Amino acid sequence: MLTAVCAALLLAAAPEPGGVAAGPRLRILAPADGSRASGALRVQAQVEPAGTAATRFSLSADGQPVCTREAPPFECDWDAGAGNRAHLLRASVLLPDGKRLSATVRTRAERLVFSADAGVVLVLTTVADRHGRFLKGLGQGDFQVFEDGVPQRVSHFDDPSSARELVAALDMSSSMTAAMPRLRAAVREFLARLRPIDRLSLLAFNDSVFTLARRESDPAARLKAVERLSAWGGTALYDTLTQGLDQLAGQKGRKALVVFSDGEDTASFSSAGDVEQRVRRSDAPLYVVCQGRGNQVAALRELMERVARLSGGRAFATDDIEELQGAFDRIAEELDAQYLLAYEPTNPAHDGSWRTIRVEVKDKGLSVRAREGYRSEAGQP
């Protein structure tokens, strides 16, 4: 009898089929999550269920304020800009009881379409003036790309405002024990320069390679991952380089691999030759910071300088852990000025040959850094 009474009470308390048990929520109606956004748009949001009182609506795009509204309708005009960019929209409203509701929408960039026939080549490029200052205001028409000396038509262009895909790999071998607090601080400063539209994968390595955060866009989650760094074990540097490039291989937009190590490789299955061959097949620039033994061993330092230059990135060397912040700052500054160029080679052969790449700009007084070339995939149609 008691069981039947309890069951009846539970049934009476259950919501009607199709009813809404949750409280009010804020929803961004336009643009839709996952849609593409460019040019002048009207952002529309509403609180559900309809008729719920709300005030103090605010909207931001990519971390920048767009508008505020004190009462419905919650609509804002927003210029998403031209070109191929992903955007992160955040909205919030205030309810009469003081509770704040929020909603987010992430629009997507137009992804490059690749096929075996097209064989599109990506070239990430930075441009600096005579004083080494990076330039951000260039357009597609300012660049000319050559493959084996032959001019190529640039079919796709992204400026430095577009989203980035980054992999940061940090040495946490036992030799880093005393320096770990300084490394954490330097990395936190580096991550603070990333935007909500950027995605970060954070790797740590000693005897093995560990993933602490995978394609994370939330700033708080990025910082939390950094706090998990602790020092022990050997140094699998070569494995880290190859795995980091593998993670970026499927990403078609602006991207980079940033690696810090204070020691010589002691634990990798991969060899130095494997690293160089992997870099030759990659379209991601490599930035390496070598400290301690990583800087003092000539063969290792020369390898890092060679593969970084080959990829279009840079190698930094320091004997002082206090100089780490400066190295990460210079990398962040360069990544903030990175352009993406893409072209379909005029040479259609898939013969496994090495193709040299040269990028020029109209102003001959400027210096350009880009990958030195790529190896065509043999056996493709």
How does pLDDT run across 308-332, given as a tens digit for each residue? 999 999 999 887 777 888 899 999 9
User: Which residue in this structure is represented by tokens 């602006």?
Assistant: 254
Q: What is the pLDDT of residue 112?
A: 45
Q: What is the pLDDT of residue 83?
A: 52
Residue 194 and residue 130 share a domain: no
Residue 87 and residue 148 share a domain: no
Residue 326 and residue 231 share a domain: yes
Q: Given a cut of 80, is residue 380 above it in pLDDT? A: no
Q: What is the pLDDT of residue 197?
A: 86
Taken in order 51, 53, 56, 60, the sign of the CA dihedral is negative
Q: What is the pLDDT of residue 15?
A: 42
Residue 344 and residue 330 share a domain: no
User: Which residue in this structure is represented by tokens 């000396």?
Assistant: 149
State how far the alpha carbon of 350 is from the alpha carbons of 218, 233, 344, 346, 371, in Å. 41, 43, 13, 12, 19
Last residue of a domain, one of 85, 107, 129: 107
**Binning pLDDT at 50, 70 and 90, where does residue 168 land?**
very high
> Does 13 fall in a domain?
no
> Does 148 fall in a domain?
yes
Mean pLDDT of 191-214: 89
Last residue of a domain, one of 82, 107, 132: 107
> Does 93 fall in a domain?
yes
> Does 349 fall in a domain?
yes
CA distance 283 to 310: 10
Q: What is the pLDDT of residue 230?
A: 80
Mean pLDDT of 210-215: 87
Q: What is the pLDDT of residue 12?
A: 36
State how far the alpha carbon of 48 is from the alpha carbons of 25, 44, 76, 95, 257, in Å. 5, 13, 18, 12, 43
CA distance 258 to 331: 8
CATH number at residue 278: 3.40.50.410
Backbone angles phi, psi at 352, to 5 degrees: 75, 10
How does pLDDT run across 85-135, given as a tens digit for each residue? 678 888 999 999 999 999 989 887 654 443 333 478 999 999 999 999 999
Contact indicator for 122, 340 with CB cutoff of 8 Å: yes
Mean pLDDT of 353-358: 95
The mean pLDDT value of the chain amounts to: 85
How does pLDDT run across 222-255, given as a tens digit for each residue? 888 888 888 888 889 999 999 999 999 878 789 9
Query: DSSP of 174-201, one letter per residue?
Result: GGGTTTHHHHHHHHHHHHHT--TT-EEE
Q: What is the pLDDT of residue 251?
A: 82
Q: Given a cut of 80, is residue 11 above it in pLDDT? A: no
The better pLDDT of the pair 355, 349 is held by: 355
Residue 370 and residue 249 share a domain: no
User: Which residue in this structure is represented by tokens 């956004």?
Assistant: 37
> Does 116 fall in a domain?
no
Q: What is the pLDDT of residue 82?
A: 54
Residue 282 and residue 363 share a domain: no
Last residue of a domain, one of 42, 74, 107: 107
Residue 126 and residue 99 share a domain: no
Residue 345 and residue 274 share a domain: no
Q: What is the pLDDT of residue 117?
A: 37
Q: What is the pLDDT of residue 379?
A: 60
How does pLDDT run across 338-354, given as a tens digit for each residue? 999 999 999 988 888 99
Taking each helix axis as running N to C, give the angle between helix 237-248 and helix 272-280, from 0 to 180 degrees, rounded to the nearest 10.
20
> Does 4 fall in a domain?
no
Residue 309 and residue 174 share a domain: yes
Residue 308 and residue 175 share a domain: yes
CA distance 69 to 55: 7
Q: Given a cut of 90, is residue 80 above it in pLDDT? A: no
- With vertex at residue 265, the alpha carbon angle to CA 260 and CA 268, rounded to the nearest 5 degrees, is 105
> Does 218 fall in a domain?
yes
Q: What is the pLDDT of residue 357?
A: 97
Residue 285 and residue 232 share a domain: yes
Q: What is the pLDDT of residue 360?
A: 96
**Binning pLDDT at 50, 70 and 90, where does residue 220 land?**
confident
CA distance 152 to 356: 12
CATH number at residue 68: 2.60.40.10
Q: What is the pLDDT of residue 29?
A: 92
Residue 125 and residue 71 share a domain: no
> Does 271 fall in a domain?
yes
Percent residues over pLDDT 70 in the chain: 89
Q: Given a cut of 60, is residue 274 above it in pLDDT? A: yes
Q: Which structural domain, as residue segments, surrounds residue 60?
A: 24-107
**Total domain count, the chain:** 3
